[in-house]
Chain A
Amino acid sequence: MAVPLLEMRHVSRSFPGVRALDDVSFSVGPGEVVGLLGENGAGKSTLMKILAGVYRADAGEIVWDGKETAFRSIREAQEAGVTLIFQELNNCPNLKAIENLFLGREIFRGSSPFLDGAAMRRKALELFDYLDVRIDLDVEVRLLSTAVQQMIEIAKALLTNVRLLVMDEPTSSLTDRETSRLFKVIRDLKQRGISVVFISHKLSEVFEITDRVAVLRDGRNAGEVDAKTGTIEELINRMVGRDLGSRAARVGNVKPGPEMLRVEGLCGPPLVKDVSFTLRKGEILGFAGLIGAGRTEMARILFGAAKKTSGRVLLEGKEVRIGSPRDAVALGIAYLPEDRKVQALVLPMNVRENLTLAVHRGLRRFRAFLSRKKEEELTTTYVTSLRIRIATQEQVVNNLSGGNQQKVVIAKWLATLPRILILDEPTRGIDVAAKAEVHRIVSDLAAGGVSIILISSELPEVLALSDRVVVMHEGRVKTVLEKDQATQQTIMSAALVADGVVVRA
Chain B
Amino acid sequence: MHAKRDPQPGRNIARALVKSRESAIFLALILLMTVIGIAAPNFLGTGNLYLVSRQISFVAIVALGELFVILTGGIDLSVGSVMALAGMGAAYAMTIGVPPPFAVLLGILVGLVMGAVNGVLVAYVGIAPFIVTLGMLSFASGLVLGLTKGWPITDVPASFLPIAQGAFLGLPIPVWIAAAIALLAHLALSTTAFGRRTYAIGGNEQATFLSGIDVKRIKFALYLIPAACSSIAGIILVARFNSAQADTGKGWELDAIAAAVIGGTSLAGGSGSVLGVLIGACIMGVIKNGLVLMRVSSYWQTAIIGIIIVLAAVLDRAKRRA
Measuring CB to CB, which residues of chain A are less than 8 angstroms from any residue of chain B?
303, 305, 324-326, 328-330, 335, 337, 342-349, 352-353, 357-358, 360-361, 363-364, 368-370, 376, 379-380, 383-384, 389-394, 412, 416
If over half of A's interface residues share one DSSP class (helix, strand or loop), that class is named, otherwise mixed; here it is mixed
Q: Which residues of B contact A (CB under 8 A)?
A: 1-4, 191-194, 196-197, 199-200, 203-204, 206-214, 270-271
Decide if B207 touches A383 in the complex (CB within 8 Å): no
Residue of chain B at shortest CB distance from A353: B196
Q: Known contacts being A380-B2, A393-B3, is A305 close to B203, with CB within 8 Å?
A: no
Whether A357 lies near B213 (C-beta < 8 A) is: yes
**B208 contacts across to A, CB distance below 8 A:** 346, 357
Q: A391 and B1: CB pair below 8 A?
A: yes
CB neighbours (8 Å) of B210 from chain A are 303, 305, 325, 335, 337, 343-344
User: Complex Cα distance A17/B199, Å?
Assistant: 29
Q: Is the CB of B209 within 8 A of A346?
A: no
Extra contacts besides A357-B208, A390-B1 (6): CB < 8 Å: A305-B210, A325-B210, A326-B214, A345-B207, A347-B204, A392-B4
Asked, given contacts A305-B210, A337-B210, whether A346 binds B204 with beta carbons under 8 Å apart, the answer is yes
In the complex, which of the residues A325, A328, A345, A379 contacts B3, with contact meaning CB atoms closer than 8 Å? A379
Residues of A near B199 (CB, < 8 A) are 346, 349, 353
Q: Is B207 a contact partner of A343 (Cβ separation < 8 A)? A: yes
A343-B207, A344-B207, A394-B3 as given contacts; A328 in contact with B212, CB under 8 Å: yes
A414 to chain B, nearest CB (A): 13
How far, in whole Å, are A357 and B199 apart by their CA atoms in the complex? 11
Give the number of A-B contacts (CB < 8 Å). Answer: 90
Looking across the interface, which residue of chain A has its beta carbon closest to that of B4? A392
Residues in B whose Cβ lies below 8 Å from that of A348: 203, 270-271
Closest residue on chain B to residue A368 by CB atoms: B192
A95 to B212, CA, bound (A): 33
Q: A349 is contacted by which of B191, B192, B203 (Cβ under 8 Å)? A: B203
Whether A346 pairs with B200 at a CB distance below 8 angstroms is yes
Q: Which residues of B contact A383 (CB under 8 A)?
A: 1-3
6 A-B pairs with least C-beta separation: A329-B212, A346-B203, A360-B193, A393-B3, A358-B211, A346-B204
In angstroms, Cα B217 to Cα A326, docked, is 12
Docked pose: A376 CA to B6 CA in angstroms? 13
B206 x A343 contact (CB < 8 A): yes
Contact A325 B204 (CB under 8 A): no
Contact of B191 among A330, A344, A369, A379 (CB under 8 A): A369
Instruction: Pick from B1, B192, B204: contact of A369, CB below 8 A.
Output: B192
Q: Tell me how far the C-beta of A421 lies from the nearest C-beta in chain B, rounded to whole angstroms.
A: 13
Q: Are A360 and B206 in contact (CB under 8 A)?
A: no
Q: Please state if A325 and B211 are interface contacts (CB–CB under 8 Å).
A: yes
Please tell me if the beta carbons of B213 and A342 are within 8 angstroms of each other in the complex: no
A370–B192 contact, CB under 8 A?
yes
When distances are taken between beta carbons in the complex, the residues of chain A under 8 Å from B2 are 380, 383-384
A326 to B209 Cα, complex, angstroms: 8
**A389 proximity list for chain B (CB < 8 A):** 1
Shortest Cβ distance from B20 into chain A, in angstroms? Answer: 13
Inter-subunit contact B211/A364 (CB<8 Å): no
